[in-house]
Copies of this chain bind each other. A is one copy, B any other.
Amino acid sequence: MAYKEQYPSRLLEEAVDAIGSLPGVGRRSALRLALHLLKQPQENVHHFTAAIDALRDNVRYCRNCMMISDDDICSICSDRSRDHRTICVVESVRDVMSIEKTGQYHGVYHVLGGIISPINGVGPSDLTIRQLTDRVAALMSPEAMFDSDGAPAEVILALSGDVEGETTSFYIYRQIAQSGVKVSSLARGLGFGDDLEYADELTLGRSIVNRQIFKP
């Protein structure tokens, strides 16, 4: 139990409790933020809280890829210039934003909404894996294959490289492999600009085993 400060006001204490409940915000920072908000014009504070309430109350998720969206179908899924036969499977909304920022990916996404983690009580049914298998089945249906002139379909498993990420990747792989869809995962190896000396052994070992043809 952390040392409990004496607050001069119950209202202040409740606001500090609320702000301090955010991840990564300690009570000292929470007090600083509460006193900052207290100094702002009332309408600014109302605008602040209204933006948060509006997000939580009115947020929608793309019914196709489960990405946060203002519409029924997100802007990526409704973009006809993208490759709808390549689905990149990610844990969270943030991962979609990270990959989009690279500008290197032109397919669509599937947001799992988490990762399989028995310790945290998250099982496959808590994620959007069922929706993914439905999407893959639709991609691999004879009609879709005919419509796309037999263009290949691919699922990219873009999950983190830890045990939970690997477990989730493996679980999904088992669910979709028999459909015949191509399944790939992100390249792992040294980061660009990384120094060999500081790479961990596992990463370095894998990047030797999975070495690529040198393309100058």
Q: Which residues of A pack against B, CB within 8 Å?
A: 5-12, 14-15, 17-19, 21-25, 29, 31-38, 40, 42, 45-60, 67-70, 74-76, 92-94, 96-97, 100-101
Contacts and interface: CB of A to CB of B under 8 A. Distances in A.
Contacts of A96: 8
A21 to B, nearest CB: 7
A7 B74 CA distance: 11
A42 B42 CA distance: 24
A37 B55 contact: yes
A29 B47 CA distance: 19
A32 to B, nearest CB: 7
A203 to B, nearest CB: 24
Contacts of A101: 5-6
A122 to B, nearest CB: 12
B18 A52 contact: yes
A134 to B, nearest CB: 22
Given A6-B97, A18-B47, A49-B50, 19 more contacts: A5-B101, A8-B74, A8-B96, A9-B70, A10-B70, A12-B55, A14-B51, A15-B52, A23-B36, A31-B94, A34-B55, A35-B93, A37-B55, A38-B68, A40-B56, A42-B57, A46-B53, A49-B49, A49-B52
